[in-house]
Structure 1
Amino acid sequence: MRIAVVGIPGGWSSEALADAVAKATGERLLLDLGGARLDLSTGQVLCGGPGLRPVDLCRLDAVLIKKAAPQYSPDMIDRLELLRFVAGRGVPCLSDPERILRLVDRLACSVTLSLAGLPLPPTTVTEDPAEALDAVLGYGRAVLKPLFTSKARGMVLLDAASLGREASAQVLERFRAANRVLYIQQALDLRGQDLGVCFLGGEYLGTYARRKDVSPSAGGVSPSAGGAGSWSTSTESGGRYAAFDPPAEIIELARRAQEPFGLDFTCVDVALTDSGPYVFEVSAFGGFRGLKAARGLDVAGLFTAYVLRRLKQAREPRT
């Protein structure tokens, strides 16, 4: 059985999943979509990786999608379209790239969550600078978020109550130079942590917390990667993973959040605040390292076993 992992060569989770698949199947195929070639006339999607000759993804038994690109960006959509072609040719892709396409754009993810009745932080989305400024001033403290990002990259905390109208407008204009659509959320008091609630095949797998010491930032504006004192719990800006056992109602909230997307493995970001729990987003790619570091779970091995069971069930004759 030939199963490839689409990921980032050298990336921790991609390498771990490729190792797990190799252990189960005897072949290690870690492929980088950055060098993929789609030939519509022949129906081939050729893709290779370090030390590997290109293989036709359409002739494999399955493709496991760990990472579509090094970072979230509009380019990721184009790469997922290549994988949608592979899935359309009958190759099982886990998770289904068409389902992943529904959530890599932060706005698309938020719209789906809101329509499903999930509690999101107060959020404004607009292309109009004046409307954005009104929202920021109304929130007092707001987080500006790119539509394509992970680990809080590119996010900005804007304390409009401290800066005032004119300075806040200047911050918004700088953000708008790189982000045509302004996605603005009221800043929440995370009490130093947020949660990653993970599911495998729709079943609850475990939860980890991202924690960091909270210290105030100065000047009214704080970028996401601000180092010590950064407002974000992201591990890239000083956060650390820790075990967390959520109550049943939080697990059920996260289950409802991931349900509309139907991914094979997913992580739901949840914030616990004094005003109640909020869902930030649903991720198609995160969770492996958090569950390993906080709970000792070999998610790569569990996911591989899950995939093999799915493939076996698909091959069994129906009675």
Structure 2
Amino acid sequence: MKLGIISLDRDDIINDLIKSCNKFGVDYRVINPKNIVAGFNLNFNIKYYRTLLNTFDVFFVRNLGWDSFFRFDVLKYLNKYVPVINPPNSIDIASNKFLTSMYLELNNLPQPKTVVTENINEALHWIDTFEDVVIKPIFGCGGEGIIRIKKDMPIITKLQMLNEFQKKYKTFYIQEFIEPVGKYYRDIRVFVIDDEVVSAMYRIGGENWKNNVSQGAKIEKCKITKEIEDLALKAKDAIGLFYAGVDLIESDEGLKVLEVNSTPSWRGLSKLSDVNISDKLLEKIIQYIKK
């Protein structure tokens, strides 16, 4: 099998995959998406320097960056000739919190009450309705740009926070704040590959309501229950992904889906997992290509 690994940077995840490729005897090449060239009415369709990319068996997408729509679009062109994991259309959906919520809703999957708007008056109304909200950029990850606003804050403070947020991100993605079921703030990252939940961990913010590891959250192994398994698989399938990092939160009403990640890191999870995640992912990709 000939595998193309598409990434702007060579990080720990890429290094893990390379080790797995060497272990399984997979021919691979790391490809910087900035150097992909698409051609029309020429003697090539899509290439990387002198290498024709339609000669590969499959591509794995790690990191495209956020500063170029072309990189996402060129994946769609590439996917016309060669399987891409994850599928480009599904990466588009998962990268957009509004579209993710839409597909979760269409598939009747539980998620926090959510409103998306560009109107500040509407945002104020829903802050007062939910009483405590988290407002997120539609595009972004790692907890960057997320703010929390409560109903009892002074109106001047709320307006200032909303105006500053809108200047930077334009659109308000507003979710009810889910109070922790236990003593500390935490959520659950579930790693799903194909039809299997491979591993799960708690991300514990402690007294910090942001549970992102990049924001200082600690990690702890999480037992995979039937409820976690069923919901994570359904969320992954709703977005149309081959593999995913599904973020769940515990509530008084049961688990709810916070986010579905289409290019998740497994750096933290690999420290707790009983399974070698990169080996398992490569095994599943090989099985998928052989079908």
TM-score normalised over the length of structure 2: 0.91
CA distance in 1 between partners of 2:141 and 2:50 (Å) = 29
Q: Alignment partner for residue 195 of structure 1, among 167, 188, 191?
A: 188
Q: Alignment partner for residue 140 of structure 1, among 131, 135, 139?
A: 131
Gaps of 5+ in 2: none
CA distance in 1 between partners of 2:51 and 2:9 (Å) = 16
Q: Alignment partner for residue 143 of structure 2, among 109, 128, 152?
A: 152
Q: Aligned residue for 1:317? A: none
Matching of residues 41-190 of structure 1 within 5 Å: 41-42=41-42, 43-47=44-48, 55-69=51-65, 73=66, 75=68, 77-89=69-81, 91-161=82-152, 163-190=153-180
**Which amino acid in 1 is paired with 2:94?**
L
Question: Cα offset for 1:20?
Answer: 1.9
Q: Alignment partner for residue 253 of structure 1, among 215, 226, 231?
A: 231
CA distance in 1 between partners of 2:103 and 2:200 (Å) = 23
Q: Alignment partner for residue 268 of structure 1, among 240, 246, 268?
A: 246
CA distance in 1 between partners of 2:110 and 2:39 (Å) = 43
Instruction: Tell me the secondary structure at the aligned position of residue 30 of structure 1.
Output: strand
CA distance in 2 between partners of 1:124 and 1:312 (Å) = 43
**Residues 138 and 279 of structure 1: is their aligned pair in 2 closer, same or farther, counting only changes over 3 Å?**
same
Question: Cα offset for 1:287?
Answer: 4.8
CA distance in 2 between partners of 1:127 and 1:249 (Å) = 35
Q: Alignment partner for residue 212 of structure 1, among 205, 211, 227?
A: 205
CA distance in 1 between partners of 2:145 and 2:36 (Å) = 28
May I ask how many residue pairs the two structures share in their alignment? 287
Check conservation: 1:198, 1:287, Cα contact below 8 A: no
CA distance in 2 between partners of 1:56 and 1:119 (Å) = 43
Establish whether residue 18 from structure 1 lines up as the match of residue 12 from structure 2. no
TM-score normalised over the length of structure 1: 0.83
CA distance in 2 between partners of 1:11 and 1:57 (Å) = 22
Question: Cα offset for 1:98?
Answer: 2.2
CA distance in 2 between partners of 1:312 and 1:276 (Å) = 38
Deviant stretches of 4+, over 6 Å: none
Instruction: Tell me the secondary structure at the aligned position of residue 280 of structure 1.
Output: strand
| 1:226-281 Cα distance to aligned partner (Å, 9 max, x none) | xxxx4211011111221101431232122222222232111211001234321111
Establish whether residue 283 from structure 1 lines up as the match of residue 261 from structure 2. yes
Check conservation: 2:8, 2:34, Cα contact below 8 A: no
**Residues 74 and 120 of structure 1: is their aligned pair in 2 closer, same or farther, counting only changes over 3 Å?**
farther
CA distance in 1 between partners of 2:200 and 2:11 (Å) = 22
Check conservation: 1:8, 1:14, Cα contact below 8 A: no
Instruction: Tell me the secondary structure at the aligned position of residue 209 of structure 1.
Output: strand
Question: Cα offset for 1:312?
Answer: 2.4
Check conservation: 2:100, 2:259, Cα contact below 8 A: yes
Q: Which has the higher contact order (CA 8 A, sep 6+)?
A: 2
CA distance in 2 between partners of 1:15 and 1:8 (Å) = 13
**Which amino acid in 1 is paired with 2:40?**
L
Q: Aligned residue for 2:210? A: 232
CA distance in 1 between partners of 2:59 and 2:150 (Å) = 44
Instruction: Tell me the secondary structure at the aligned position of residue 66 of structure 1.
Output: strand
CA distance in 1 between partners of 2:247 and 2:35 (Å) = 31
Question: Cα offset for 1:74?
Answer: 6.5
**Residues 62 and 246 of structure 1: is their aligned pair in 2 closer, same or farther, counting only changes over 3 Å?**
closer
Instruction: Tell me the secondary structure at the aligned position of residue 94 of structure 2.
Output: coil
**Cα root mean square deviation, aligned:** 2.0
Check conservation: 2:58, 2:83, Cα contact below 8 A: yes
